[in-house]
Structure 1
Amino acid sequence: MLKRKKILILLLTLVVMQPFISCSQNKESGFLSVLKNAPAKVILADGSEASKTAISIQRKWKGDLCQLSVKNTSSSPVMIREVIVFDFQHQLPGTTPIYGESFQKLGQIGGTLAKPEDWGTYSDRSHYKIPEPESMRTAYGMLTLELQNSQRVLLGTTSCEKFISRFSFDAKRLRISMDCENLSLQPGESWNLEEFIATSGNDREKLYDRLTNAIAKHHPRLKHDPVPMGWCSWYCFGPQVTAKNVADNTNWIAANLPELKYIQIDDGYQPWMGDWLEKGKAFGGDVGQVLKDIKAKGLEPAIWVAPFVASPQSELFKNHKDWFVKDEKGAPLRSDKIGFGGWRLGPWYVLDGTHPEVQAYYTNLFKTMREQWGVTYFKLDANYWGAIHGGVHYDKKATRIEAYRRGMQAILKGSGDAFILGCNHPIWASLGLIHGSRSSMDTWRKWDSFRDIGRENLLRGWQNGRLWWNDPDCILLTDAGADEVMDQGGNAVSAQNKSRLTENEFLYHAATVYASGGMLLSGDDLTKIKPARLDILKKLIPPTGVAARFENEKFEVGFIALKDHNEYVVFNAENAPVKRRIALSKGRHQLKDKWTGKVLGVFEKEYVMDLPAHSALIVEDRLIKN
């Protein structure tokens, strides 16, 4: 009898533990099985859980995709704070490596489930003060998990029309939710909660291919070919840029390097944030005429605009306070009261993309710049503020995602066929709305910046050419620039004791830009560039349009498949020399150093090299045909 009881207990234990036994034996399938069976619930505005008889949640799976929706089946309106679509004990080791996107592009999350790390420059939680559910570390839009048997799990949403998806986690729990912002769901009304994807595999890049292909069905990529090349005023002149600075570089580029066809005037030409058609005191010339002069030289006029924000001193704010996102008392929301207030000419107020007059203003503003000023490239900055949390919108039924997307749609209507670059933008909310995406924080002439910003860009290489063209920020090849006399916010600093970069460090930086496969913009005063550094710039022209593909986030050896040959980008960010190995396909390969043009030799199976500290090599690989 005792033996029979033991057998029965053992069988019951196996039934209860089966999902987790599967997870142990086959990590990816077991984990996804547990996820698909995880409970879901609706949290109301007061923090209580909604009754399942009043609110129903639908999860309809088709392969690795799941359509999520919620419906009010009661007879009364219901204010919903969030819908938790999956919530479970993940049963994974706390040492499981992760990668997740942040709400805005200046943040990235790495590390492990138990010890997450802020890999980006400015995090959502500390810098922008975006509330995290239950104070759990949170990624937005997507999260990947690297399991112990070389398998990866990718979780994400393939659409972002109304709600932002949140992936909150700790060492034991995974909580996936949609932020509903206390909006009211009417009786009988349903909300589409965006499409969800849960997939797995052992190839990092193929998982990203699957995600981006699914996204394309909801948010087709805005194409603008070829990959843009140009020049930007910010890193050589900062907010003190003058009309003469622009003219001097325009003349040099027209005569020496016309491939850099977009001449972009950055922040500093305007008097205040919001007064974009006026000129600042320092600029010393008519902005519209300077742009027309660029066109007359056979180049393309480009300009920086931060359309969603305004300084309190601006004429826009003074004359149209009703156009701005409100606080709970009905006054314009000062962004520094709930998060970051802006880096220059602040504290900023936020234009409300749901307001029809704001939408008309956007269309007219960009139409003026496009048609009258001839601008064919717009760098849109501070776009995060267009989706700011904690505000009250003109349209009380709209989320902050909808506010941002409506504003962007109005901008696209006015900008016509111009190239649109998103910068400091909400990443997932920008899907299908921009041609280019800044993939990192600003780059500065320091080794730490070259290393860290390089990693930010390589982490997002999977987006390039799939969602948009990535903008890895400017290539900097001269020793002096605006960062010698100002910080990243444009404030004056001392240039004393500034350490100089080595030649290898400049080449490392150039290689990260090249490996991104994305845009190429020079950030130097090209009238002063030395011939050797100019030669490096010329070797990066034109961009490949193809991001290097990597096995993992160590980013040691990247592979670029081109039409007539392959290339490898090999990095060493360490403080000491290392050996790196390139695995070659079957056959005989002639390898060449892209920087020097030197033929390295003919190799089979592999090429092993000694790579100095803080350096990178681009190797051209041509298969020798018998």
Structure 2
Amino acid sequence: MAIPSLIYRSFLKLFPRASIEVKSGNTRASQPLEPIEHDRHLGYSNEYVSLRIERADRGAATHYRLRLKNLQTKSLRITRLRFPGWRGLDDLLDNYNPARISFFRNGHQSWSTSRSYRMTEKPLRPRLRLVSLVTSNLANLPSNAPGVLSSEMYTVVSDLDDDQAILVGQCEPFNQFVYIMLHLHPERPRSSFFEIVYDFGRKVLAPGQEIELDGLLFLSGDAGDIVDQYFSLLAPLRRPASRERVGWCSWYQYYDRINPELLLENLRLLKGSGLKADFFQIDDGWQAAVGDWLVERAAFKGRMAELAAAIRQAGYTPGLWLAPFALSAKSRLFREHPEYIVRDSGGATLVAGYNPIWKGLYYGLDLTHPRCREYIAEFIHRVVHEWGYSYLKCDFLFAACLRGANHHDIGLSRAEILKSGMSLIREAAGNDVGILGCGMPLSAGIGSVEAMRIGPDTGDFWIRPESFLLRTGAMVGLRNSLRATLTRAPMHGTLWVNDPDCVMARARGTRLSAAERRAQLDVVALSGGLVTISDDLSILYPADFEELAQHIELSERCSYGRAIALDAMDRELPEQFYNSAGFIGFFNWGQARKEASYSLTRLKKREPLLAALVDMRSGKRYEALAQSIAFGFMPKRGSILLRIERDEP
């Protein structure tokens, strides 16, 4: 597949049409934009707005900057900016076979599905709106139709016959949500097209106001190479790396059934284990209700500072879980401050989701309401500066930027509202506090957090059968968590420290097989991201501690490399996970034990001096490597972890 030079020449040739959606009251209208071309700049215009386009290439990427101006003498509410283009993929991809096209979908937030799709595969739209609320973006739901594909922030479209691909990606200032859509019609190729959409929520532009929109980057080449290039271009925007890389968390052993004595016992056991750890995090269950962050549950009353001091005395950073932008219907905040809750244009509260642990619905806070902002600043100050927690896991952050919400400040987009809330937390907490984002729209987190959860919740089970009934690929469980760790691995070390979610080493009280537990540890270590143990440490065997120690050491070495799933564009659940620090894992995600063999073509592209692969468990060496490698029988959901040996250059 050759990449036509069209994508490097002119934005107007890429997108000969554009439109802006404006809203007045409850009426939304799409207004076409006419292309304009002057000596100094390109763009579009109509009676409402002008849009200026400038090209400013960055390395191998074609970079377009966009500026939007309100031409009216009155304020203007904008909702979406659309660029439908490339009528027919033949204008973009030469000599492609639709059956061999693969499209990568990056989901909206931490828990959203991220994977590649072929034209015959359906991106699953959940059957229930409540599921979509917490796993998708209601403004950009999966189509549930083959060949109708969408992604957020970036996408890769690859020809699997030659690995040549194009990448379309959003870049700074990340003040909008950007969707990239592909409609692929195998029998009517000239009807296939791309579309790029900017989502402003319900942002209002003042008369004459001009704003910078998020830029667009276009890259072409080998699929894996251009993903690396894209994230390298964004790397200067990240916050300094967090000190916290290995730790313990209460959630997947105890959920919200915690008390101080249980936590202190695990703290004692962690200290005595000899495991190298940086933080000890108290998860959900310490607060009276979600939203009531100034009121502790009875068991924790007056003891939060004591626990933080004990954690610090043991040599770890004290960590605490919060859902700072969400509130439960059972909370005192919900009853006493209804003015803080985001509402639709009719004044009805907007539901953010349902949580069985919280025994009911929960809602989002209006982060632009002055008194609500004061409350958030107050509880963050108490948690950090009075109690002493300097590592914050901020969860359910999507609740701040729900589709269809009205806000006190009408001049902000959905992304800007979320970013304003994160800036408020940062200001109240201080720059030396580590923040882990979770349930967060990813693009708005760049530059806001030190670490980011990049997948759905894991679990001590492979997958829940309800995921098939509810028709979602983002249901909690180890399978979907590992898939996200594999497919979003390139974000680590460039945008933030990836949080692949917790690991569970326990052999007792788990529904995971030994092979599944080991594969989990292998993937997390190879990713180079956070390693967070979530076991009752009193039930671990000495062998469990030994295996954890080995994987923590491997993870530290891999944290300095770049991780990528070599076959992410080939299959929904990748089987080859490479880290440039000199390691690779091969996986059998199938339902049965099988004789496993794997192509080495992509590994050899990455490692031209490849001399041998060494099994890190058995020590077996694989030399004289051909274009594929066979390992004999591999158990169901099993793995093999290998060290790469290189020839001298």
TM-score of the two chains, using structure 2 as the length reference: 0.81
Asked if structure 2 preserves the Cα contact closer than 8 Å seen for 1:271 and 1:279, the reply is yes
Question: What's the CA shift string for 1:460-492, capped at 9, x where partnerless?
Answer: 0000001000011111111445xx7xxxxxxxx
**CA distance in structure 2 between the aligned counterparts of 1:586 and 1:408, rounded to whole angstroms:** 43
User: Which whole-Å deviations, capped at 9, do the CAs of 1:524-551 have from their partners, x for residues lacking one?
Assistant: 1111101222221111123231343333
Give runs of aligned pairs for residues 225-624 of structure 1, distance below 5 A.
Answer: 225-226=242-243, 228-281=245-298, 286-330=303-347, 333-335=349-351, 340-345=353-358, 346-416=360-430, 417-448=432-463, 449-480=477-508, 500-542=511-553, 543=555, 544-545=558-559, 546-553=561-568, 554=571, 555-562=574-581, 566-574=582-590, 575=592, 576-580=594-598, 582=600, 589=611, 591-594=613-616, 596=617, 598-601=618-621, 603-605=623-625, 608-613=630-635, 614-623=637-646
Q: Deviations over 1:139-191 (max 9, x none)?
A: 22111111254211111111254311112332223221111334333443223
Shift of 1:293: 1.8
Q: 1:117 aligns to what SS in structure 2?
A: coil
In structure 2, relative to structure 1, the CA distance for the partners of 1:592 and 1:605 (3 Å cut) is closer
Pick one of 43, 54, 62 that aligns with 2:56.
62
Q: Distance in 1 between matches of 2:327 and 2:609?
A: 60
What does residue 87 of structure 2 align with? 89
User: Is 1:131–2:139 an aligned residue pair?
Assistant: yes
Name whichever of 467-476 and 407-416 sits farther off.
Answer: 407-416
Deviation at 1:118, TM superposition (A): 4.4
Offset of residue 300 of structure 1: 2.1
Cα pair distance change 1:513/1:260, threshold 3 Å: same
In 1, the alpha carbon distance for the partners of 2:597 and 2:493 equals 31
Deviation at 1:611, TM superposition (A): 4.9
| 3-state SS of paired residue (2:196) | strand
Question: Residues 187 and 88 from structure 1, CA distance in 2 versus in 1: closer, same or farther, beyond 3 angstroms?
Answer: farther
**C-alpha distance in structure 1 between counterparts of 2:440 and 2:142, whole Å:** 25
Tell me: CA distance 1:506–1:157, structure 2 relative to 1, closer, same or farther (3 Å).
same
1:273 partner amino acid? V
Match of 2:467 in 1: none
Q: 2:210 aligns with which of 167, 185, 190?
A: 190
Distance in 1 separating the partners of 2:164 and 2:9: 15
Which structure's relative contact order is higher, taking Cα pairs within 8 Å and 6+ residues apart?
Answer: 2
- Which amino acid counterpart does residue 130 of structure 1 have in structure 2? L
Q: Equivalents in 1 of 2:142, 2:634: separation in Å?
A: 46
CA 243–89 in structure 1, closer or farther in 2 if over 3 Å, else same = same
2:219 aligned counterpart, secondary structure: strand
Query: Could you say what secondary structure the match of 2:564 adopts?
Result: coil
Aligned to 2:156: 144
Amino acid at match of 1:71: K
Q: Name the structure 2 match of 1:181.
A: 201
Q: 1:31 to 1:305 in 2, by over 3 A?
A: same
What does the per-residue CA deviation read over 1:104-159, in whole Å, with 9 as the maximum and x for residues that have no partner?
22113531356442499997589556133997653221111112542111111112
In 2: Cα distance, 1:210 partner to 1:290 partner: 44
Q: In 1, Cα distance between the equivalents of 2:136 and 2:646?
A: 50
- Structure 1 CA distance, aligned partners of 2:258 and 2:121? 43
Cα distance, 1:577–1:183 mapped onto 2, change above 3 Å: same
Distance 1:480 1:270, change over 3 A: farther
Secondary structure of 1:222 counterpart: coil
Give the SS at the match of 1:413: helix
SS at match of 1:47: strand
Cα distance, 1:395–1:125 mapped onto 2, change above 3 Å = closer
* Residues in 2 aligned to 1:134 and 1:88: alpha-carbon distance in whole angstroms: 21
SS at match of 2:123: strand
Partner residue of 1:163? 176
Instruction: Assess if the C-alpha contact under 8 Å between 2:79 and 2:201 holds in 1.
Output: yes
Instruction: Provide, for residues 191-248 of structure 1, a one-character-per-residue CA deviation record: whole Å limited to 9, x for no partner.
Output: 32211111111141x312322233345xx21123445110110111111112122111
CA–CA separation in structure 1 for the residues paired with 2:490 and 2:107: 15
Aligned residues: 573
Check whether the contact 2:487–2:564 (CA below 8 A) recurs between aligned residues: no
**For 1:347, what is the secondary structure of its paired residue?**
strand
RMSD: 3.0
CA contact (8 A) 1:591 1:601 kept: yes
Q: Which amino acid aligns with 1:26?
A: A
Q: What's the counterpart of residue 49 of structure 1?
A: 31
Matched position secondary structure for 1:577:
strand
Structure 1 residues 100 and 248: alpha-carbon distance in aligned structure 2, compared to 1, 3 A threshold: same
Query: What are structure 1's unaligned runs of at least 5 residues?
Result: 1-24, 485-499
The match for 1:102 among 88, 99, 107 is: 107
Deviates more, 1:302-311 or 1:312-321: 312-321
In percent, how many aligned pairs have the same letter?
22
Offset of residue 94 of structure 1: 4.5
SS in 2 for 1:108: coil
Contact 2:380 2:428 in 1 (8 A): yes
> How big is the shift at 1:521?
0.6
Q: Structure 1's 439 and 622: CA in aligned 2 closer, same or farther, altered over 3 A?
A: same
* CA pair 185-415 structure 1, distance change in 2 beyond 3 A: closer
The question of whether the paired residues in 2 share the 8 Å contact of 1:311 and 1:349 is answered with: yes
Unmatched segments (≥5 aa) in structure 2: 34-44, 91-96, 185-191, 464-476
Q: Secondary structure at the match of 1:552?
A: coil
Residue 44 and residue 285 in structure 1: after superposition, are their counterparts in 2 closer, same or farther (change >3 A)?
Answer: closer
Cα distance change on mapping 1:459 and 1:150 into 2, 3 Å: same
The 3 A distance-change label for structure 1 pair 515 and 429 is same
Contact kept? 2:487, 2:565, Cα under 8 Å: no
Cα distance per residue 1:317-349 (max 9 Å; x no partner): 333332332332445x2315xxx3445434222
Cα distance change on mapping 1:440 and 1:126 into 2, 3 Å: closer
